[in-house]
Every structure is written in structure tokens, then in C-alpha cells.
Amino acid sequence: MPYKLFDVDKDIPERKKHTYVKHCSDPDECMPDCNTKTVPGSMSERGCAFAGAKGVITGALKDVVHVVHSPVGCTYYAGGTKRYPTSQNMPDGSKFPIENFNLRYICGTDLMESDVVFGGMKKLRQSIIDAAQEFPEANAIYAYATCTTGLIGDDMDAVAKELSTELGKDVVAFNAPGFAGPSQSKGHHIANHTIFERLVGTQEPPTTTPYDIGLIGEYNIDGDLWILESYFKEMGIRILSRFTGDACHEEICFMHRAKLNLVRCQRSATYIADLVKEKYDIPYINVDFFSTKYCAENLRTIGKYFGLEKEAEKVITDRMAKIGPELEFYKKKLSGKKVYIFSGGPKSWHLAIPLEQELGMEVTAVASQFEHEDGYVKMKNRTKEGTLIVDDPNSMELEEMITKDKPDLILAGIKEKYMAHKLGVPSIMIHSYENGPYIGFEGFVNLAKDMYSYIYNPIWNMLEFEENPVTPEETEIDIKSGKIPDNEVEVAK
């Protein structure tokens, strides 16, 4: 049978249709049920629609102050963010006065019971005014609905429109309360449409060139964007607009002037690429810069579009010469290791083939918390016979998988990481990374290095409550010194 019911799910048999075991003879329509409400009784680890809007789409902007219209709990939750570092560079050549502004501050309306009863619009209005006075350097203010304010029906758009005129800067309302959809993916959708309708096309860039691109769906997790930017700069291509890693508010407003858009996260950002293409006739390319193979293929495609094929080859040759020997070392050490990829969205299909073909690993399970059908089609096409493909996995299912299958490594998020460690299996954060960046040529080596150091860490041989996934003779790192053996230091350092 192509579907699997975990033992822990025996009381919620509806979960069976969300867990598919790939069989090459299955018809195309065989895949996990997805983008639906979580099955009652399943301890889902999904984010909500509000998290998708604030935590993903807008959370990486460098010059925006965020106001969450909610009780303090949602505001506190929104203060946590991925590793979205920013530079101080602005489009006009000036410097933004506060480094990593988006990681430091978040404001909230702190709704109380009386506000729920009588309405919170006055409090929202005053909170936005207070935020503008407290942070005059911010070039825009973004306000967010949550479940509470969505239920009481506060007209956030009216407040935003009024204050945009009064404050002389853009105030944008994002109506993506947590219950708006089955997962954070709905928040991606709402935020994309809000930004397009409210901002895109409202400003013009300081300058333009024939080689301007928009980099869409790249959030600069642990510096990913800066790696890609170095490639493009060497090729003679300029990133005109970022959506939204290391981006400023203005870049969103003039993203309609790019000559070509590159869509990196195809789950969270294809929406706005489609809208820009439809209205402004700007083409876009879906790109995948994870691994050396995909990175090279995409740089060649971009180079061909702009007539910069030689420049693209020069970048590829230069980077491969630098990382080739080190990557070969990690391939020898990682070959045959069994790995799960439990990402929020596209990384499960981005990484499946590279881990197998370039590092010799065996991907036996992939999962996503918020992918749609097109994403699961890609997972199915990029995995081997017998691979388990899970939609909206929960911790109890993962524990059962680890206990029975005993993988060597799990690429997942912070919620899975420490549970896996307690079961004696190393886990690397693939959402916000360990020692990134993980994208591009250098990034793929960083990922391989982290996988190697986690799998071969001697701590796994010290655990007494779980069978050791790594035998003592496999341990590569000396317990006393914590160093790699001398004969391998040069290639693995």
C-alpha cells in the first residue's frame, strides 16, 4: 500500500493519507494529502498564517518597525526570528543608522479584555504613532492582525491609510490572522498580495542598469544572500530589489523595474513574481542554488539570459577550484549515511538529490509542514523508491521513525532538534542553520562540514540510553582534543 499509518496515529486514522511511501509504479496522483487543516488530535508543529506573514515575508526587512496588534503573547512570539542579518547599505548609497534593526525591535498593542470587548482600533492607532516617534529612522511601519483582532473585526486598513497621510510614511496593514489558513503558507500568500497591491510600483529606483535583477524569496538566512550577491557582482549583474532578505522598504516599492526576477523560495514568493509578471511583463526564473550542481546550472541560465555566459563560467570555475578537494573529503565521510529532511517547505526537494548525488548520502524520508501539491510532486520526483514523504509531521511520528529506522542524521528545525538528540541522533537546523550560509558553492561545503561534525561527534558514543548510531572506530574527532586527526586536518579544516 502506498500510504502508511504510524502506530502512534492508530486513534486518528485520518493521518494515513498524509504519509505516503513512494513506489515508482504508483500513478502520478499518489502523494500525501496536503495544504489542509491539521487532523484533530495530531500534535502539529506548523506555524500559523500570522507567522508566515511576519516571521517569513516581512521579518527580514532592515528599515521597518513592526507593530503586532495582539495580546502580548503573539507580540512576544513574533519577536523570535530566523537568522536574518542585514547590512546598513541603502539604495541611495547612504547607511541605515542601526545595524540589524529588524532583529532588535518589535512593538505591540498589548490588547486587554476591555479592548476585545470595545474594540482595539484606538489602541492600534496610538501604538503606531508611538512607534513612529520612538523609531524616527524607520522608513515604514507594518502592522499585523492576529487571531484576536481578526475575530473582533478591527479595520486595520482604515487606520493604516489614515496614519500614512498623518505620519508622512507608509503604514501597511497585513490582515493575516493565525486562523486565516491551514498553515503559515496562507500568510505568505496574503503578505505577497498585500505588498504587491500596496507598495510595488509606488517609487522609482535611484538608478537602473541593463543588468538589474530582482531576487525574490531570498531571506538571507545566515548570509545566504550575500553569497549569491558576490556571484552576481562578479558576473556584472546587479541586484536591484531584494524580496526580502537584507532589503529596505524602498526596494519593495521599485521592484517593478528589474529586468529579470529570480524566485528562490518557490513556496513563499512565487505569488508576487506572478503578479509582477502579469502587470509589468517582467519574466522570472525559478532558481535553486543549493549544491554545486544546481548553483552552476542556474548561474549558466542567468548568464545566458543576459549574454554573460563567459562571466558565469568564470565564477563557477573559480569556486569549484576552491571547494572541490574539501567537498570530496566530506563525500568520503558522509557516503552511505542515512538522512531525513524535515523542512518547513521547499528544502526537502531542494536538497534530496544533491545529498545523494554529490555527497553519497541516502535520503530515506522527507517532510514538509506547509508545502502544496506542486511541492510534493517535486519531492516525489526527486526521491527514490521506498522514501517516506510526510505532510505536517508531528513529534510522535518522528520519534517512531527514529526508533524504528535509526537514521544517522536529521535535517529539521529547532522543534525537532533536541528531541532527536535525546534519542541519540544528531539533528541540524536546516531552517535557520548552524554555521551557515548553506547556499551556493561555499554554502554546500558549510552544510557538509556541519553534517560531518555532527555525525562523527564522539558524544553519541557516550549516550547510555540509546544504541549508538556511530561505532567507536568510525569516530573521527579525538575526544580529548576535539580535533580531526593530523593527516586529515588540511583538507577538513
The pLDDT of residue 447: 98
Name 328's Cβ contacts closer than 8 Å, sequence gap at least 6: none
Least confident of 212-216, 394-398, 407-411, 466-470: 466-470
| Per-residue model confidence as pLDDT tens digits over 258-304 | 999 999 999 999 999 999 999 999 999 999 999 999 999 999 999 99
Mean pLDDT of the chain: 92
What end-to-end distance do the CA atoms of the chain give, in Å?
46
Q: Single out the residue of 116, 122, 125, 202 nearest to residue 153, CA to CA.
A: 116
| Per-residue model confidence as pLDDT tens digits over 293-350 | 999 999 999 999 999 999 999 999 999 999 999 999 999 999 999 999 999 889 999 9
Band (pLDDT 50/70/90 cuts) for residue 465 is low
Provide the percentage of residues in the chain whose pLDDT is more than 90: 86
Least confident of 23-27, 167-171, 371-375, 426-430: 23-27
The pLDDT of residue 489: 45
State yes or no: pLDDT of 209 exceeds 50. yes
> What is the average per-residue pLDDT within 89-118?
92
| Per-residue model confidence as pLDDT tens digits over 133-160 | 999 999 999 999 999 999 999 999 999 9
Amino acid (1-letter code) at residue 181: G
Q: Which CATH code fits 212-313?
A: 3.40.50.1980
The pLDDT of residue 476: 56
Q: Single out the residue of 338, 471, 377, 470 nearest to residue 22, CA to CA.
A: 377
Band (pLDDT 50/70/90 cuts) for residue 478 is low
CB-side exposure of 84: number of CA atoms within 13 Å? 28
Instruction: Supply φ then ψ for residue 259, to 5 degrees.
Output: -85, -25
Name 120's Cβ contacts closer than 8 Å, sequence gap at least 6: 69, 109, 111, 149, 152, 154
Is the CATH code 3.40.50.300 the one for domain 324-492? no
In whole angstroms, give the CA distance from residue 446 to residue 438.
Answer: 6
Antiparallel, parallel or unpaired: β 140-144 and 170-174 = parallel
Name 311's Cβ contacts closer than 8 Å, sequence gap at least 6: 234, 235, 236, 303
Band (pLDDT 50/70/90 cuts) for residue 479 is very low
Query: Same CATH fold, 324-492 and 49-198?
Result: yes
In whole angstroms, give the CA distance from residue 408 to residue 456.
Answer: 10
| Per-residue model confidence as pLDDT tens digits over 43-61 | 898 999 999 999 999 988 9
Structural domain spans, the chain? 49-198, 212-313, 324-492
Is the CATH code 3.40.50.1980 the one for domain 49-198? yes
From edge to edge, which strands make up the β-sheet containing 212-218?
238-244, 212-218, 260-263, 284-286
The pLDDT of residue 488: 53
The pLDDT of residue 86: 93
> What is the average per-residue pLDDT within 233-257?
97
